Structure 1
Amino acid sequence: MSEQIKHECGFVLIRLRKPLEYYKEKYGSWRYGLNKLYLLMEKQHNRGQDGAGVVSLKIDQHSGSRYLSRSRSNQANPIQDVFNDIDIRLNKVEGATPELMKDPVWAKENLPFCGELYLGHLRYGTFGKHSIDYVHPVMRENNWRSRNLVLAGNFNLTNVDEIFRNLEDLGQHPKDFTDTVTILENIGHFLDEENQMLFRQYKNEGFSNRDISHQIEDNLDVRKILERSSRRWDGGYVISGMFGHGDAFVARDPWGIRPASYYIDDEIVVVASERAVIQTAMNVGIREVQELRPGYALVIKKNGEVKEEEVRVPQERRSCSFERIYFSRGSDKYIYQERKELGRLLAPILLEKVDYNIEQTVFSYIPNTAETAFYGMVDGVRKLVNERKIDQILGEGKEITREKLSEIIHVQPRVEKMAIKDVKMRTFIADDESRDDLVAHVYDVTYGIVKNQEDTLVVIDDSIVRGTTLKKSILRILDRLHPKKIIIVSSAPQIRYPDCYGIDMAKLGDFCAFQAAIALLKERGMQSVIDDVYKKCKEQQNLPKEEIVNYVREIYKPFTVEEVSDKIAEMLTPKNIDAEVEVVYQTIENLHVACPNDNGDWYFTGKYPTAGGNKVVNTSFINFVEGRNTRAY
């Protein structure tokens, strides 16, 4: 993507199912789990660069010894900073010698971060502040092990205000108004209730207080705690956590909006945001990694027993297609194939746009994430060109000459790397003119390939959200090659509606498609449409979210996709460039063909999987009309 969009966080949960001595004997170090945690976090570093955190838990540590260790960072390289901190803390333990530090029994007794359970997190902040207090994992501490709660996740809720009020009604006083703190206290409340219920039960059965603690730890109903606490959650989420005595869980929303996969063998349980990173870190095949089902939680008990249990009734699967187009690692087999297919499906319309004039068309891409879609686009173009060659040859009949045959078969798409992503420019200069000049040099181009005022450049990007980089940088530098025409292609459809489930795209005014539709309405004397939508949105403000309708879809109804695309091209074309500019978007239909199992398309269609989505989009429109530059949830 030519524009940076912050998005879903990443997490890793690791449970070692053998004593630490086992890993020392088999793998040479008790650090086996810690090392795997580092590798899995590094492999997901694309999912969060605002912060990173790690929590380690020692199971069955005796009283008086610390059993939870945590390190968090919001520095420039947070993963490295966290693990550097862990190393420093390991090496400064009093009485530690190199030999003792290798001994798993001594290490568990004396060293921090030497445990059987690990939770790691990578944060992209889309809600709340960016201070260290907001970096996951977050903790709710208590002197009873079974009441301690550690939480990390990839989630955004649309109804934090509703859940917050419910906590207040219960008598709580949450320390902050963010989804992280709200979820922490929400789960914590039902954790406390479950503990208290079991305490009364075992007290009535005659157990001593000391024995009751062990009974609670062995019999805590994790599924029930998650089922009760998640009833009000509206949003996309994968929430991972652990309790102080050693139970752990990962819960996924019932629509499957946010992703989670897991791997289990007799040595280890690994759960992470992405399947491919588990394959790489654990060196296992794709069939050995399972997807956590929507509405379910993977529950790992203190004794190592693992179950996948239903927490919420699964709904129609609406897993996020934007994950597939851009955010997830392309090393996953199916994601790679889907991105190629997105490019291939664009080939017919692109050849029509250039009138099959292959000799005067150069195909390229915006580095680096659009590269896979580019391969698919080129494959599709080649296939269609070859079909055209067959028709030409058959049309010539038996009289075809060798020269004519050679002329036909040697026509090939011109495929070049035209845009080169250069070093990251630091736009520290204060005035806007200078900053824009620096932005224009983020990319460089390959000179001498394009024929001046003759060739058409077809350049694919994986998505076009705001269009800022296109206008300020990419189109300007491509124009230096003096093409006759530049066609910018998006492998994703037009992004028309805000996200509210984890991606930092919450403001309608940021989208070039929305701005184009508004401009068309005003140009054509249709201001009344804007006014009517605003009125309808305002009338719904105090309704329950379940009754709210997405009226923002009416903004786009008067126009075809092509009309909006043409207006986007007009708006994004910089002044003083010579080339004609056209913008082509993927269709919704082709998106669903390419990503058949991930049909969460609310960014493009406005069809939100949860009721809170409609509330967010209407609020976002109200904010736009009233000139408030703030997020809608």
Structure 2
Amino acid sequence: MSEQIKHECGIAFIRLLKPLEYYQEKYGTSLYGLNKLYLLMEKQHNRGQDGAGIATIKLDIKPGNRYISRYRSMEKNAVQDIFSYVTKKFAAVGKQDPELLKNAQWLKENVSFTGEVLLGHLRYGTHGKNSVEACHPFLRQNNWKTRNLVIAGNFNMTNVDELLQQLYDLGQHPKERADTVTVLEKIGHFLDDENQYLFDKFKREGYDNVEISQLIAAHMDVARILKKSAKTWDGGYTIAGIFGHGDAFVMRDPAGIRPAFYYQDDEIFVAASERPALQTAFNIKIGQVKEIKPGHAMIIKKDGSIREEMFREPVEKKACSFERIYFSRGSDADIYQERKQLGNLLTPAILDAVEHDIEHTVFSYIPNTAEVAFYGLVEGLHRYTVKTQRDALIHSRDNLTDEELDRILRVTPRVEKLAIKDVKMRTFITQDAERSDMVSHVYDTTYGLVKRDVDTIVALDDSIVRGTTLKQSILRIFDRLGPVKIIIVSSAPQIRYPDCYGIDMSRMGEFVAFEAAILLLKERGQEQLITDVYQKCKAQEFAPKEEVINHVKEIYASFSNEEISAKIAEIITPKNLGAKVEVIYQSIENLHEACPNHLGDWYFSGDYPTPGGNKVVNRAFMNWMEGNNARAYL
């Protein structure tokens, strides 16, 4: 992608199902869980580079000894920083007595992070506060082991104010307005309820307090806690949590918006945001990895029993398609094929745009995440070329000369790497004019591949959000090569609406498609529609989310996709550019054909999978109209 979009976040959860001595004997280390946690987090580093954190819980530790460990970091290489911090503890033990590193029980009793339940998190900060306190895992502490709670997740809730009010009504006083706090405290509240319910039950049956503590741990109904906690959540989420005594869960929202995968055998249960991370870390086949069902939670009891339970009735599955287009790593077998198909499906529109003139077109892509889609486009171009060559040979077979044969077979797609991203380029200079000049050099190009004043350049990007990098850098660089036309192609449809489920796309003014639609309305004398939409949004500002309609759709209703694309081409074309610029977007229909199991497309279509989404898009439009640059959700 030419412009980075931030996304929160990634999780890694591990539950060792055997004693630590088992892993020492079989794998030669008592740190098997920590080593695997590090691998899972490193293999998902694409999901968050603003910070990271881990937490571990030791099972069956005697009272008076620490059993919960947590460390979070905001260093540039946060994962490495965390595990460097943890490793130093064991290095110190090795210096004291190398044999102690083989003594699993001693390590568990004396060294932090030597636990059987491990949770890791990678964070991209979509909230304005980017501090170590905002990094997961979050911890809710209590002197009763079964009341302690650790959570980490990949989520955004659209109805934070509503959830906060519910906490106020319960008599709580949350320390800030954030969805992480509401989730932690909501689960924590019903965890306390469950503890009190079981305490009262066993007290009536005549057990003493020490016995009751053990009975609460054994009989805690995790599913009941989650059902009560998530009853009014509106958002996309995958959340992992651990209770102090060792029960744990990994839960996924009812629409399956955020991804969640798991693997289990008799040694281990693991869950992560991405399937390839599990495959690589544990050397397992794709069929061994399963997806957590929407509205369900994997519940891992302290005794090692595992079951999947429904905590909310699933709704129509709307798994995030941006995961497939951009966020998830392309090493997933299905995602790789889907991205290729996204490129392949663009072939007809691109051929029309270049008037099927393969000989005078250079095909390329914007590094690096559009590369796989580009492979699919190239395959489509080769199929077209083979067909045209076949047709030409059949048509000319009666009078085919050697020269004509050579001419027909010589035509093949000209596939080149024109854009080169200089990842080492930094914009140190602070003055705006000089910074813009530096930004324009973040990308470089390969010279000598384009025939000046003859060729057309087609460059595939995986999506176009703002268009600023295209305008400030890529188009200017391509123009130096002297093409007659530059066609920028997006493997994703036009991004028209904000996301509110974990992607940092929340301000209407940042979408070049929205800017294009507004300009078209003004050019055609339809400015009153903008005011009308604002008034409709304002009228529903305080309505229940279930009653709110996405009125922003009206902004786009008068225009075809092609009209908006043409206006976008005008917007992103720098002054004094020699080449003509054209923009082609993927259709939503093609997106669904390429990614049939991930139909969440609200940022393209405006069809939100939860009621809170409509409230967020209207709020985003009102913010734009009022000149308020705030995010439309917490």
TM-score with structure 2 length normalisation?
Answer: 0.99
Tell whether 2:226 aligns with 1:265. Answer: no
Q: How many residues align?
A: 633
Distance 1:288 1:94, change over 3 A: closer
Distance in 2 (CA, whole Å) between partners of 1:87 and 1:610 is 43
1:221-262 deviation line (CA, Å, top 9, x unaligned): 000100100011000000100000000100000000000000
| Misfit runs of 4+, over 3 Å | 89-96
CA contact (8 A) 2:93 2:101 kept: no
Look up the equivalent residue of 2:393 and give its one-letter code.
Answer: I
2:2 alignment partner in structure 1: 2
2:386 alignment partner in structure 1: 386
Q: 1:435, CA displacement in angstroms?
A: 0.3
Give 1:311-326 correspondences, 5 Å limit: 311-326=311-326
Q: 1:387, CA displacement in angstroms?
A: 1.2
2:29 alignment partner in structure 1: 29
Distance in 2 (CA, whole Å) between partners of 1:317 and 1:65 is 45
Q: 1:90, CA displacement in angstroms?
A: 3.6
2:72 alignment partner in structure 1: 72
Look up the equivalent residue of 1:555 and give its one-letter code.
Answer: I
Distance in 1 (CA, whole Å) between partners of 2:184 and 2:88 is 29
Deviates more, 1:408-417 or 1:251-260: 408-417
Specify the SS of the correspondent of 1:570. helix
Look up the equivalent residue of 1:367 and give its one-letter code.
Answer: P
Distance in 1 (CA, whole Å) between partners of 2:585 and 2:536 is 30
CA contact (8 A) 1:128 1:178 kept: no
Distance in 2 (CA, whole Å) between partners of 1:579 and 1:399 is 40
Q: 1:404, CA displacement in angstroms?
A: 1.8
Look up the equivalent residue of 1:421 and give its one-letter code.
Answer: K
CA contact (8 A) 1:136 1:152 kept: yes
Specify the SS of the correspondent of 1:2. coil
Distance in 2 (CA, whole Å) between partners of 1:213 and 1:66 is 17
Distance in 1 (CA, whole Å) between partners of 2:14 and 2:185 is 24
1:285 alignment partner in structure 2: 285
Tell whether 2:487 aligns with 1:487. Answer: yes
1:263-322 deviation line (CA, Å, top 9, x unaligned): 001111110000011001100000000000000000000011110111110100000000
CA contact (8 A) 1:159 1:233 kept: yes
Distance in 2 (CA, whole Å) between partners of 1:96 and 1:161 is 53
Give 1:451-530 correspondences, 5 Å limit: 451-530=451-530
Q: 1:89, CA displacement in angstroms?
A: 3.3
1:121 alignment partner in structure 2: 121
Q: 1:410, CA displacement in angstroms?
A: 2.1
Distance in 1 (CA, whole Å) between partners of 2:177 and 2:89 is 33
Distance in 2 (CA, whole Å) between partners of 1:107 and 1:547 is 56
Tell whether 2:342 aligns with 1:342. Answer: yes
Specify the SS of the correspondent of 1:231. coil
CA contact (8 A) 2:30 2:101 kept: no
1:210 alignment partner in structure 2: 210
CA contact (8 A) 1:12 1:121 kept: yes
Give 1:491-570 correspondences, 5 Å limit: 491-570=491-570
Distance in 2 (CA, whole Å) between partners of 1:298 and 1:585 is 39
Distance in 2 (CA, whole Å) between partners of 1:497 and 1:268 is 41
2:237 alignment partner in structure 1: 237
CA contact (8 A) 1:90 1:112 kept: no
Q: 1:8, CA displacement in angstroms?
A: 2.4
CA contact (8 A) 1:128 1:134 kept: no
Look up the equivalent residue of 1:628 and give its one-letter code.
Answer: N
Tell whether 2:135 aligns with 1:135. Answer: yes
CA contact (8 A) 1:262 1:271 kept: yes
1:107 alignment partner in structure 2: 107
Q: Which residues of structure 2 form unaligned runs of 5+?
A: none
Specify the SS of the correspondent of 2:318. coil
Distance in 2 (CA, whole Å) between partners of 1:575 and 1:12 is 48
Q: 1:472, CA displacement in angstroms?
A: 0.5
Distance in 2 (CA, whole Å) between partners of 1:344 and 1:55 is 43
1:86 alignment partner in structure 2: 86
Give 1:173-252 correspondences, 5 Å limit: 173-252=173-252
Distance in 1 (CA, whole Å) between partners of 2:5 and 2:425 is 17
Q: 1:524, CA displacement in angstroms?
A: 1.0
1:410 alignment partner in structure 2: 410
Look up the equivalent residue of 1:87 and give its one-letter code.
Answer: T
Distance in 2 (CA, whole Å) between partners of 1:397 and 1:111 is 81
Specify the SS of the correspondent of 2:552. helix
Distance in 1 (CA, whole Å) between partners of 2:393 and 2:75 is 63
Q: 1:400, CA displacement in angstroms?
A: 2.4
CA contact (8 A) 1:359 1:414 kept: yes
Identity between Structure 1 and Structure 2 (%) = 63
Distance in 2 (CA, whole Å) between partners of 1:513 and 1:34 is 45
Distance in 2 (CA, whole Å) between partners of 1:103 and 1:582 is 66
Look up the equivalent residue of 2:359 and give its one-letter code.
Answer: E
Q: 1:385, CA displacement in angstroms?
A: 1.8
CA contact (8 A) 1:75 1:81 kept: yes
1:607 alignment partner in structure 2: 607
CA contact (8 A) 1:482 1:578 kept: yes
Look up the equivalent residue of 2:325 and give its one-letter code.
Answer: I
CA contact (8 A) 2:340 2:377 kept: yes
Distance in 2 (CA, whole Å) between partners of 1:506 and 1:524 is 27
2:40 alignment partner in structure 1: 40
2:274 alignment partner in structure 1: 274
Deviates more, 1:400-409 or 1:249-258: 400-409
CA contact (8 A) 2:94 2:100 kept: no
Distance in 2 (CA, whole Å) between partners of 1:73 and 1:19 is 29
1:44-84 deviation line (CA, Å, top 9, x unaligned): 00100111001011001111111001110012111111111
TM-score with structure 1 length normalisation?
Answer: 0.99
Specify the SS of the correspondent of 1:493. coil
Distance 1:174 1:337, change over 3 A: same
Specify the SS of the correspondent of 2:501. coil
CA contact (8 A) 1:500 1:613 kept: yes
CA contact (8 A) 1:127 1:179 kept: no
1:365 alignment partner in structure 2: 365
Specify the SS of the correspondent of 2:53. strand
Distance in 2 (CA, whole Å) between partners of 1:423 and 1:93 is 40
Distance in 1 (CA, whole Å) between partners of 2:176 and 2:53 is 20
Distance in 2 (CA, whole Å) between partners of 1:390 and 1:529 is 53
Q: 1:91, CA displacement in angstroms?
A: 4.0
1:55 alignment partner in structure 2: 55
CA-based RMSD of the aligned residues comes to 1.1
Deviates more, 1:392-401 or 1:165-174: 392-401
Q: 1:97, CA displacement in angstroms?
A: 2.2
1:254 alignment partner in structure 2: 254
1:309-338 deviation line (CA, Å, top 9, x unaligned): 111101000000000000001000000000
Q: 1:94, CA displacement in angstroms?
A: 11
Distance 1:280 1:94, change over 3 A: closer
Distance in 2 (CA, whole Å) between partners of 1:329 and 1:112 is 32
2:19 alignment partner in structure 1: 19
Look up the equivalent residue of 2:508 and give its one-letter code.
Answer: L
Q: 1:406, CA displacement in angstroms?
A: 2.5
Distance in 2 (CA, whole Å) between partners of 1:626 and 1:13 is 43
CA contact (8 A) 1:339 1:376 kept: yes
Distance in 2 (CA, whole Å) between partners of 1:358 and 1:402 is 21
1:410-452 deviation line (CA, Å, top 9, x unaligned): 2100000011111332222121110011111111100011000
CA contact (8 A) 1:190 1:228 kept: yes
Deviates more, 1:318-327 or 1:78-87: 78-87
Specify the SS of the correspondent of 1:385. helix
Look up the equivalent residue of 1:470 and give its one-letter code.
Answer: L
CA contact (8 A) 1:155 1:235 kept: yes
Look up the equivalent residue of 2:599 and give its one-letter code.
Answer: N
1:344-385 deviation line (CA, Å, top 9, x unaligned): 000011011111111100000001100000000010011112
Specify the SS of the correspondent of 2:398. helix
Look up the equivalent residue of 1:411 and give its one-letter code.
Answer: V
Specify the SS of the correspondent of 1:173. coil
Look up the equivalent residue of 2:281 and give its one-letter code.
Answer: A
Specify the SS of the correspondent of 2:40. helix
Distance in 1 (CA, whole Å) between partners of 2:94 and 2:557 is 70
Q: 1:4, CA displacement in angstroms?
A: 1.1
Distance in 2 (CA, whole Å) between partners of 1:206 and 1:91 is 48
